[in-house]
Amino acid sequence: MASQSKSPKRFAALDSLLQGLKRSRGSLLVLAVLILFPFVFARITGTSVNEGPAKYWQGQFIAVFIMAIFAMSYDLLLGYTGILTFGHAAFFGGGAYTMALFLTHVAPRFVKTYRVSLPGGLDVTEPSAFLLAILLVVVVSLVLGLLFSIVSVRVKGVYFAIITLAMAEAIHILSKATDFVKWTGADEGLHGVPVPAWINPTQYRLRFYFIALAFAVVMYWLARRIVNSPTGRIFVALRENESRARMIGYNPALYRTIAFVVSALIAGLAGALFSVWTVSATPSMTSAVTTVNALIMTILGGMGTLVGPMLGAAVLEFFGQFLYQWFGARWPLVFGIIFIVLVMFLPYGIVGTWRLRSAQWKRRWSLRKQRAAAQE
């Protein structure tokens, strides 16, 4: 009897798994393509996967993966919670500088002073130092997220956006301050950051490609779990009508804090990985231009979709590169014109407009089928 009672549960779990795979078949297909891309491209071009065009395009995709996660973190605030902020670069740049400063000034001393090994005798001192750097990035990102969320309790709307811009600009000024030139490099930034050999993006480009891809997948999964959870539903409720959400018992300040902390954490980790990828940390990572780029990616792909900003990041990165080759330094002007046209014809972004149009087409098709059945 016990085995018979378990059978329906097993079938239900299997059916749920199949339904989930069916819903995610598009994402799984994209993931499979990205996994196979380095090897297929190397075979098509007749070169090694670790050199030539294959290595170059792996680098382009690495930048896309990182910026896609940065844009997705911005979408959590703007697209789902309805919070317009111009200070998102503070999280990205804060993570980048934390990682670069630790690897430059702390990690070498840690490796010389301590030795961390596994029971089998395997030396893991460098990975341990890198793990400490990641933990420090998490702490700094959480602190910055809490700092911005405290401000959101007092002011809202345009005033809040202006204050976040001022706060981010203060961090930008600190990153360029000559008082800390010994640590941050001031205007020049930090270059030649001593990245651990096992994760060096120049020597092990393919390995770093898969690390960046895995990072993107994990961050997307985390963000998707959050927006599909009851907490994510409350984010949307705050976006639609904060007064009504407060009236039915939810604390807007608490959920805005959660949104800020999660968004800051994801953006900070993206900045840390970008610092490792570029082997540097520069003031441009904390500038308002970086926030504007995240805003463009989000609007271009579609707000409140998660996958839309990731697609927007890919469009901006690849399209920007091609436009630079064709138009040189004038490419931002050309891209600005194209962006205006896209917004006019795709008002909800690429993914948002596609979902809206596909839903309309499905409704029309179902109505036609119903009418045809009624006539018969």
241-266 pLDDT, tens digit per residue, is 888 999 988 998 899 999 999 999 99
CA-to-CA distance for 265 and 97, rounded, in angstroms? 14
CATH of domain 26-345: 1.10.3470
Q: What backbone torsions phi and psi does residue 73 show, to the nearest 5 degrees?
A: -65, -35
Query: Residue 188: helix, strand or coil by DSSP?
Result: helix
169-216 pLDDT, tens digit per residue, is 999 999 998 888 889 888 888 999 999 888 999 899 999 999 999 999
Question: What residue segments make up the domains of the chain, in order of their start?
Answer: 26-345
Report how far apart, in Å, the C-alpha atoms of 249 and of each of 19, 231, 238, 246, 254 are: 34, 13, 12, 5, 12
pLDDT of residue 225: 94
Amino acid letter, residue 23: R
pLDDT of 359 higher than 80:
no
Report how far apart, in Å, the C-alpha atoms of 175 and of each of 94, 146, 155, 272, 312 are: 9, 20, 26, 15, 28
Tokens of 282: 């520069």
pLDDT of residue 123: 78
Residue 347's pLDDT band, with cuts at 50, 70 and 90, is: confident
pLDDT of residue 291: 94
Mean pLDDT of the chain: 88
